[in-house]
């Protein structure tokens, strides 16, 4: 298997999604309040990587 920048990006993208979902899930399960800053960071991180993911997919098709 050839490792390309595209492959690395996909791994980083899915790791970021798993991390953000896990972070929010942990905070909710631990009954800790989630600050506005934490929500903004989580949502913007997922949104930015998703937009890059869509852009890369369109360039490759």
Structure confidence by residue, pLDDT tens digits, 4-23: 877 888 888 889 889 888 88
* Total domains present in the chain: 1
Question: Domain range spanning residue 52?
Answer: 5-60
What Cα–Cα distance (Å) separates residue 12 from each residue in 9, 15, 18, 20, 47?
A: 5, 5, 10, 12, 14
Helices 36-60 and 5-29: angle between axes, nearest 10 degrees = 150
Query: Per-residue pLDDT for 1 more than 80?
Result: no
Q: In the structure, what pLDDT confidence band is assigned to residue 25 with cuts at 50, 70 and 90? A: confident
Per-residue pLDDT of 26-55, as tens digits, reads 888 888 888 899 889 888 988 888 888 888
Q: pTM for this one?
A: 0.67
Nearest residue to 53 (alpha-carbon basis) of 8, 10, 4: 10
pLDDT at 39: 87
CB 7 within 8 A of CB 39: no
């Amino acid at each position: 298997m050839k490792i390309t920048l595209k492959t690395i990006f996909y791994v980083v993208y899915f790791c970021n999604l798993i991390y953000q979902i896990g972070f929010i899930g942990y905070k909710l399960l631990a009954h800790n309040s989630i600050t506005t800053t934490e929500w903004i960071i989580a949502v913007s991180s997922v949104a930015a990587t998703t937009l890059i993911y869509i852009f890369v997919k369109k360039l490759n098709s």
